[in-house]
Structure 1
Amino acid sequence: MGYLPLGRSAQLSTVIPSTLTRTRVAQWLCAALLLAFLVAGMFDRDPWKADEPYSVGMVLNFFRGHDLIVPRVAADPFVEKPPLMYWSGALCARLASSVLPVFQGAQIAVLAWLLVASACVGRLAQRLHGKASFDWLAPMLMLGSFGAVENVHKLTADVPQLAGAALALAALPRLARSDASSRLWGLQLGTGAGIAFLSKGLLVPGVLALTCLAALLLPAYRTRRYAAALAWAVLAVLPWVVIWPALLWHASPSLFIEWFWDNNFGRFFGFVHLGGERKSYLSDFASLIALTFPAGWLAIGALVAASRIESWRRYAVSRPELAVLWGYVVLLVATLATSSVMRDIYILSIFPALGVLGAGVRLPNWLEKTWATLAIVLMSALGLFVWTRWGLQLTGNGHVAAGPIGKWLPLDYQLAFSPGLVLGALLLLALWIAAIVLRRELGALILGFAGLTFVWGTLSTLLLPWVNEARSYRTPFAELREALPRAALSGAPKACAGSLGVGDSERAMLDYFIDVRAIQLADFAHGSRCGVLLLLDKADARVTPPAGWRKIWQGGRAGDHNERFLLMVGQN
C-alpha cells in the first residue's frame, strides 16, 4: 500500500473542497439566473399589446367583483378563453393591492405559474437523464427558446396552460415505471390537463388525451397500473372541466355556446373567423423551426444521436418516458398544423416537452467550446449595445446611430435616470461575469442562457421606460381623459362614451387607465346613443366620420405610425 507525499495530499485536500464549492456555487448561480430571467421585464411596466390589455380588462372586472363567472372586457362579455389566468391574476392583485397596482399584482400569478412549470420540468429532466441534482438546463431551455422569451413574461392564458402541460407531462413519463404510484401520478396528470383546460380550452387537454392513448403502443404502458392511473386522471380532471362551464351555461347559454363552439371548434375548423388565420404552411414551418431554437434543435439532436445507437423502434421500447414526450410534441404540432388559425404564442405549450428532451443532449467538445465562445462574444456585445443605447437616450441623443429602431420606438424620448433600474442592470452584469468565471461548471448551454438573461434583463431594466412609452396606452389615454367633456363622465342623458372600431385591448385600457367603460357600437348609426364617440383610425383602414360629428382630439402611442384615436362629439 502506497502513500501520497504530504505536499500532494495537502494539495488534493485543497482542490477537492474547492471543486465542490464551485459546483455548489454554480447551482446557486443557476437558480439566480432563472429567477432573474423571469422577473426581468415582468414588473414595473404597463400592459402591452397584443394579448395583455384585454387580459388585464378581465382581471380588473374580477378584481372589482363585478362578475366572477363571465369574463368581461370593459362593459362587454369576453368568453374567448376560460378564466383561470384572470381569476388567479385578480386574486394576486387583491393580495398585493396595498403595494402594487392591479396589473403588477396580477403578474405575480404569472410568476407563480412559471415557477410551477420550471419545477416540474427540472425534476422530470433530473430523473430521466440521471442527474444527481435538479436539472436547471431543462427549464432554461423551456423559457429561453425564441418562441418563449417574451411570451412567458406576459399576462396571458397561455402561461397557466404552459404550467398545466408541464404538470401533466411530469406525471405521464413516470407511469412507464413499474413502481410508479398510479393514484399519485394519475391525479397529477388529470390536474395538469384540467389546469390547461380552464386556462385556454380544449387544445392541450385534447393533445394530452391523444398522447395517453398513443402511449398504449408502448409495452411499458399496456398495464393495469396505467389503466388505473388514467381512471384517477379522469377523476382529477372532472372538477376543472365541469364546474365553470356549468356555471357559464347557467349564467348565459348563448355565451356558453360562443365559448365552447365558436372559440374552440369554430377557430380550429375555420368556420368562425376571430383573428390569427394562418398565412401559409411554409411560413408556419419556418416560424416553428426558428421559434423552437434552441430547445427543439437540441431535442432533435439528442434523438438523432440516440438513433445511431439503436433503431427508433428499439429506442421507443427502451426509453418509453422519452418516447411519450416525443408523442406529445408530434401530436401538438400535427394538431396546430391542421388548425385554420396559427399564432406564434400557440406553440408555447410545446416547450415543457422540448425542454426535457433537449436537456438530454451531449454536445461534442468542439461544439461545446464554439457555443461557449459565441455566447460570451455575442451576448457581451449585445449587452454593451444596450448600455450604449441607454446612454444615448439618457443624454437626449436618441437619433444617433438609431438605424431602424425609430420604426418601433420614439427616438425623441429622453430617459430619466433611475437608480433602481441601473442597480438591477448592474446586478445582471455581475451574474453574467460570474457565469463566465464558472463556465466550466455550468456548461455551454447554461452559459448561453446566462447570456440571454444578461441581454434580456439589461434591456428590461435600462430601456424599460422607453419601450413602455411606445407600447403602453397610458400617455395617450391620459390626454384623452383631459379632452373628454365632463358630461360624458356624468350621469346625464347621453352621458356614455361610445366606441367604433376600438378593439378589446384598447377598451380594456380605457377602463384600466382612466376608468372609462366605453360601449362597443356596431356602426355610426348607433352613435347617437352617446354624447361622445371614440374612433380607431388605422393606416390601412381609414375612418371618415359622418356629418353631425366634430373632432375634438386625436392621438396615439409614441412611435406608433399605424393607428390613431379620434374623439368626436355630436353637434346635435
Structure 2
Amino acid sequence: MHDSHSTPARLTATATTKLPRLPLLALGLVYILAGLFFRDPWKTDDVAGLATMLTALEDGWHAWLLPKIGNMAYAQNGPLITWVGAFCIWLFSPLFELFTTPLEATLLASRLPNLLWFGIITGSVWYGTYLLGRRPEPQPLALPFGGEPTVRDYGRMIADAALLLILATVGIIWRLHETSEVPALIAFQALAFYAVARMLDHPLSGAITLGIALGAAFLTRGWIGSLPIILAVPCLFIPRSALWPAKHWLIISAVLAIVLGLLWWIPAKNFSTYWIHNWWLWNLTSFGMPQYQAVLGVLRDLPWFLWPTWPFALLAIWRWRTWLFAPHIWIPLMFLLWPFIIMLFLADAFEPEYSLMAVPAAVLAAFALPTLRRGVVNSLDWFAVMCFSLACATVWLGWIALQAGWPEQISHNIARQTRGYEAFISWSAVAMALLGTLAWIAIVRWRLHTKPAALWRGTVLSACGIVLTWLLLVTLWLPALDYVRSYREVSSHLTQALHTHQRPGECVRGLSLGTGQRASFLVFNDLRFSYSAECTLVLQQTSPDAVQAGLADFAPNSVVLWEGKRGADRREMFRLLRLDSR
C-alpha cells in the first residue's frame, strides 16, 4: 500500500469544523420545495410522466403494468415512476381536494415522490461519501506536531462537501422538480454508489441494497438507466480493488435485480406483446455506433450541465492519480466513466443521460478540496460570490424590465419571448424573493467578516448561490414561465371548441400530435385522441408557416372548426378539422 506521505491531502483540524446541521437541512428543503408545487406541468418529460400516472388511475391495472398516455402506449421508460406517482395521487389528492381544485390537488400529489427521490439522493451521497472519507486511504498527511483532523471529522467534512456540491450542480436542479424518470434515475444511481461503498465493511446489506438499486433503475428507464451501473460494478470488483474480497456477494445483487425485473417483465409480456415489442425497439434503437455530431453535442453540453463539479472531479483524478485504485477515487470514477461511455453510443443523449454523471462528479469533486491550497480555495470563494451575485442581479433586473418596461432593450427582448403575456405582481412571491436575496447578502457578509477556515465554506457559497438563483426564478418568474411552457390555456380553448362542434359518439383523431401535447391535453382536460381512421374530427398539430404556405392542408373537403396556440409560441399551432364523411 502507498506511503501515507504520498497523500495529496493537506488539512488541519480547524478546516474540518462541523457544518451546522440546521442550516444544511434548511438549504436542502428550500432547494427541493422551491418550484416543486403551485406550477403547471411543462412539456415534455414533466407532463408525460404525470399523464402516465393519471392514465393508470383511470384505465385500471393494465395501465399500471404498461405505461400509457391516454390511448398511446408510452414504451420509453419502465413503470416505476408511474406506480409511485399514481399511488401518491390516489392516496393524497382526496386530502388536498379539501383545500383546492381537483386538478391542483392532483398536481400537488403527483410531485410528492420528488421528495422521496431527493431524500434518497442526498442520503446516499452523504453516507456513501462518509463511508469512503473515513477509510485510511484518503486521510490527510499527519502533521509533525499534531493538529490534523480526526477520521470522523474528516469523513463528515468530505460528505458535507459532496452533498453541497450535488446541490450546486447546475444541470439537475430543474430536472429534480419534474414528474419524470430523471429524479428517480439519479436516486437509484446514488443508491447504487452508496451500496458499493457499504459493501466495503458490510457486504451483505450493501449487496442487497445494490440489487434493489439496479432493479429499480431498470424499472425506471430500462437498459439506458441500468446499463451504466451494470457495467460499472464488475470494474469495481477487480483484484486491485479493496472490494475484491466481497465479490462473491454480488450473486445476491444479481439475483435480486433479475427477480425485480422479471416480476414486472413476465406479466407485462404475457399481457401485451405489442407494448413489450415497442419497449424493446425503443431500447435497441437508442444505441448505435458513435456519431461525430452526437459526440460533439455531448462534449458541448456536459460542461455546463455538470458545472461546477466537473473541473474539481478531473482535478481529484489527477491529484490522487497514485491512489487511483483506492475506493474513494475508483468507486466514483467508475460510476462517472461508464455513463459517459454509454452516452457516446446513444443516438440521442441528453439531460436524462447526463444526469447519471452528477452524483459521481460531486463525490470526486469533494475529494479534490483537501488537495487545494488555501489561496486557490479563497479565489474560488470569491468567484462563487461574484458569479451568483451577478446571476441574482440579472434575474431581478429582468423581472423589473418585465414589470416596468425598463431598461427598454431588455424589456423588448423579454416581450418577444412572452408575447401576449400580461405582467402582474404576486406580492407573496416578491416577499420570498426578497427574503432569499437578504439571506444571500447575509451569507456573503458572513464570508467577508468571519473569514472561516472550514473547507466547506466554498461549497456552501456555491450551493446557496444556485439555490437562491433558482428561488428567484420560481418566485418572480413563475407566472411568465407557466405562460410560456404550459398548455393549460390552449387546452381549455380546445375543450370549449369540442363542446361546440363534437357530435354525440364522434371520436377525435390526433394528427402529428406530439407526446408532450397529448399528455398536456390529457392532464388539463382529460382529452384523449383516437388512432382510428374512421374519426371525422381531427386535431392537427402544425405551424403558422405551414398553414400560410398551404402545407398543412390535410384533406380537400376538410373544414377548419377551430385554430389555437399558446400565446408566446410562434412555431406551433393546433387546428380542429372536420372531414367530409361522404
Query: What TM-score comes out, normalization by structure 2 length?
Result: 0.84
Amino acid aligned to 2:282: N
Amino acid aligned to 1:232: I
| Aligned twin of 1:182 | 203
| Residues 549 and 397 of structure 1: CA distance in aligned 2, closer, same or farther (over 3 Å) | farther
Distance of 1:331 and 1:340 partners within structure 2: 16
Question: What pairs up with 1:270-289 in 2 under 5 angstroms?
Answer: 279-289=293-303
| Residues 40 and 501 of structure 1: CA distance in aligned 2, closer, same or farther (over 3 Å) | same
Q: 2:574 aligns with which of 559, 562, 565?
A: 565
Q: Deviations over 1:33-72 (max 9, x none)?
A: 2221222222211111231222121011123353321211
Q: Is the 8 A contact 2:211 2:257 kept in 1?
A: yes
| Aligned twin of 1:376 | 385
Describe the SS at the equivalent of 2:43. coil
Describe the SS at the equivalent of 1:536. strand
Amino acid aligned to 2:298: D
Q: 2:517 aligns with which of 482, 506, 514?
A: 506
Q: 1:147 aligns with which of 140, 154, 171?
A: 171
| Aligned twin of 2:336 | 329
Q: Does 1:517 align with 2:521?
A: no
| Aligned twin of 2:7 | none
Distance of 1:293 and 1:397 partners within structure 2: 32
Q: Deviations over 1:80-109 (max 9, x none)?
A: 111111111112222321315323321111
Describe the SS at the equivalent of 1:46. coil
| Aligned twin of 1:164 | 188
C-alpha deviation, 1:427, in angstroms: 3.2
| Residues 399 and 78 of structure 1: CA distance in aligned 2, closer, same or farther (over 3 Å) | farther
| Aligned twin of 1:5 | none
| Aligned twin of 2:436 | 428
Q: 2:25 aligns with which of 18, 28, 31?
A: 31
Q: Does 1:109 align with 2:113?
A: yes
C-alpha deviation, 1:487, in angstroms: 5.5
Q: Is the 8 A contact 1:158 1:345 kept in 2?
A: yes
Question: What pairs up with 1:5-24 in 2 under 5 angstroms?
Answer: none
Amino acid aligned to 1:41: G
Distance of 1:256 and 1:92 partners within structure 2: 26
Amino acid aligned to 1:281: V
Moved more, 159-168 or 50-59: 50-59
Q: 1:462 aligns with which of 476, 485, 490?
A: 476
Q: Does 1:350 align with 2:371?
A: no
Q: Is the 8 A contact 2:214 2:229 kept in 1?
A: yes
C-alpha deviation, 1:349, in angstroms: 1.3
Q: Is the 8 A contact 1:396 1:413 kept in 2?
A: no
Q: Deviations over 1:401-428 (max 9, x none)?
A: 2364345333x52333323322322332
Moved more, 203-212 or 295-304: 203-212
Distance of 2:354 and 2:57 partners within structure 1: 29
| Residues 397 and 88 of structure 1: CA distance in aligned 2, closer, same or farther (over 3 Å) | farther
| Aligned twin of 1:230 | 250
Distance of 2:491 and 2:525 partners within structure 1: 7
C-alpha deviation, 1:338, in angstroms: 2.1
Describe the SS at the equivalent of 1:359. helix
Describe the SS at the equivalent of 1:356. helix
Q: Is the 8 A contact 1:296 1:358 kept in 2?
A: yes
Describe the SS at the equivalent of 2:522. helix
Amino acid aligned to 2:424: A
Question: What pairs up with 1:207-218 in 2 under 5 angstroms?
Answer: 207-218=228-239
Q: 1:262 aligns with which of 281, 299, 313?
A: 281
Distance of 1:225 and 1:266 partners within structure 2: 36
Q: Is the 8 A contact 1:278 1:342 kept in 2?
A: no
Distance of 1:280 and 1:407 partners within structure 2: 31
Describe the SS at the equivalent of 2:538. strand
Q: 1:497 aligns with which of 488, 508, 530?
A: 508
Q: Deviations over 1:354-386 (max 9, x none)?
A: 111111122433332222223223322322332
| Aligned twin of 2:310 | 296
Q: 2:263 aligns with which of 243, 247, 257?
A: 243
Distance of 1:267 and 1:72 partners within structure 2: 20
C-alpha deviation, 1:164, in angstroms: 0.7
Distance of 2:309 and 2:186 partners within structure 1: 15
RMSD: 2.7
Q: Is the 8 A contact 1:536 1:564 kept in 2?
A: yes
Amino acid aligned to 2:541: L
Q: 2:496 aligns with which of 482, 506, 524?
A: 482
Q: Is the 8 A contact 2:168 2:462 kept in 1?
A: no
| Residues 105 and 277 of structure 1: CA distance in aligned 2, closer, same or farther (over 3 Å) | farther
Q: 2:126 aligns with which of 105, 119, 122?
A: 122
| Aligned twin of 1:3 | none
| Aligned twin of 2:543 | 538
Distance of 1:503 and 1:366 partners within structure 2: 52
Q: Is the 8 A contact 2:555 2:579 kept in 1?
A: no
Amino acid aligned to 1:32: A
| Residues 46 and 380 of structure 1: CA distance in aligned 2, closer, same or farther (over 3 Å) | same
Amino acid aligned to 2:110: A
Distance of 2:486 and 2:377 partners within structure 1: 41
| Residues 502 and 186 of structure 1: CA distance in aligned 2, closer, same or farther (over 3 Å) | same
Distance of 1:71 and 1:263 partners within structure 2: 14
Moved more, 378-387 or 50-59: 378-387
Q: Is the 8 A contact 1:193 1:208 kept in 2?
A: yes
Q: Is the 8 A contact 1:538 1:563 kept in 2?
A: yes
| Residues 267 and 65 of structure 1: CA distance in aligned 2, closer, same or farther (over 3 Å) | same
Q: Does 1:385 align with 2:404?
A: no
| Aligned twin of 2:466 | 452
Q: Does 1:136 align with 2:160?
A: yes
| Aligned twin of 2:99 | none
Amino acid aligned to 1:208: I
Amino acid aligned to 2:399: W
Residue identity (%): 22
Distance of 2:297 and 2:37 partners within structure 1: 33
| Aligned twin of 1:14 | none
Q: Is the 8 A contact 1:218 1:316 kept in 2?
A: no
Amino acid aligned to 1:163: A
Distance of 2:470 and 2:19 partners within structure 1: 23
Q: Deviations over 1:492-523 (max 9, x none)?
A: 24x112110011211111111122111246xx
| Aligned twin of 1:79 | 75
Query: What TM-score comes out, normalization by structure 1 length?
Result: 0.85
Distance of 2:416 and 2:82 partners within structure 1: 33
Q: Does 1:89 align with 2:85?
A: yes
Distance of 1:234 and 1:515 partners within structure 2: 41
Q: Does 1:62 align with 2:56?
A: yes
Q: Is the 8 A contact 1:395 1:414 kept in 2?
A: no
Distance of 1:359 and 1:207 partners within structure 2: 22
Q: 1:219 aligns with which of 240, 244, 267?
A: 240
Unaligned runs of 5+ in 2: 1-13, 97-103, 135-151
| Aligned twin of 1:41 | 35
Amino acid aligned to 2:540: L
Amino acid aligned to 2:257: V
Distance of 2:499 and 2:556 partners within structure 1: 20
Distance of 1:63 and 1:474 partners within structure 2: 21
Q: Is the 8 A contact 2:170 2:466 kept in 1?
A: no
Moved more, 69-78 or 285-294: 285-294
Unaligned runs of 5+ in 1: 1-18, 271-275
